[in-house]
Amino acid sequence: MRAVAVKLLMSLFFAALPATAFAADKKPVVIEGEARVIDAGTIQIDNKVIRLFGIVAPGPRQKCLRGSLPWLCGAAARTYLKELADRKQARCQAIQSYNARCIVANKDLANEMVRAGWAVADESGEAYRPAEDKARAEKRGLWEYAPE
C-alpha cells in the first residue's frame, strides 16, 4: 500500500514539472544560490526548478485527515520547508534529472523534511528510511494523526 501511494504522489508530481531543470549531459551539476520554495518537495534557484532527491512530499493542496476532518497537510509541509530554506543560500548537486541533494545551513533538506515528518522516503531515498520510521513512531508532521 505504501509503495502504491509513493508512486501515485511521484507520478502526479512529475506530470506537473516544467521542462528542463538540468543539463542533459552526465557531468555533475551543482546549482548554488538563493532558494525559493515552490512546494514541500521542490525549490527553485534562479530559473532552475529542483526536486529534493529521495523523498515524496505532499502536494500544495493535498489534504490529510485528523480523525474525520480534513486539513491542508501539503500547505503545512511547504511552510516547514520555507522555514528551512526560503531565501537562504542553497547548494544542490544533481543526482538524477530534476532531482538533487540540496544543502542549506549544513543541513540536507530532504533529510530534514523526513525527520520532521513532512515527507516520506521514496525508492531512491533508502538513507532516509530510519528518519521516516522515527518520525512515524514519534507522531511528527504527517504522522501526528495517522492511524496506528
Q: Provide, rounded to the nearest whole percent, the portion of the chain with pLDDT above 70.
A: 82
Pairing mode, strands 107-108 and 55-56: unpaired
Q: Name the DSSP letter for residue 143.
A: G
Nearest Cα residue to 81 out of 126, 46, 121, 51 = 51
Domain with 24 in it: what CATH number?
A: 2.40.50.90
Domain count, the chain: 1
Q: Which residue has the higher pLDDT, 84 or 145?
A: 84
State yes or no: pLDDT of 6 exceeds 70: no
In a domain, 148, yes or no: no
**Grid coordinates representing 112?**
530534514
Q: At residue 28, what are phi and psi to the nearest 5 degrees?
A: -60, 130
Asked if 74 contacts 17 with a C-beta cutoff of 8 angstroms, the reply is no
The mean pLDDT value for 96-119 works out to 96
Q: At residue 21, what are phi and psi to the nearest 5 degrees?
A: -100, -25
H or E element: which one contains 52?
strand 48-52
Total Cβ atoms within 10 A of residue 47? 7
Q: What pLDDT, on a 0 to 100 scale, did the predictor assign at position 28?
A: 78
Q: Which domain holds residue 125?
A: 2-143
In a domain, 89, yes or no: yes
pLDDT tens per residue across span 41-76: 999 999 999 999 999 999 999 999 888 899 999 999
Q: What pLDDT, on a 0 to 100 scale, did the predictor assign at position 146?
A: 82
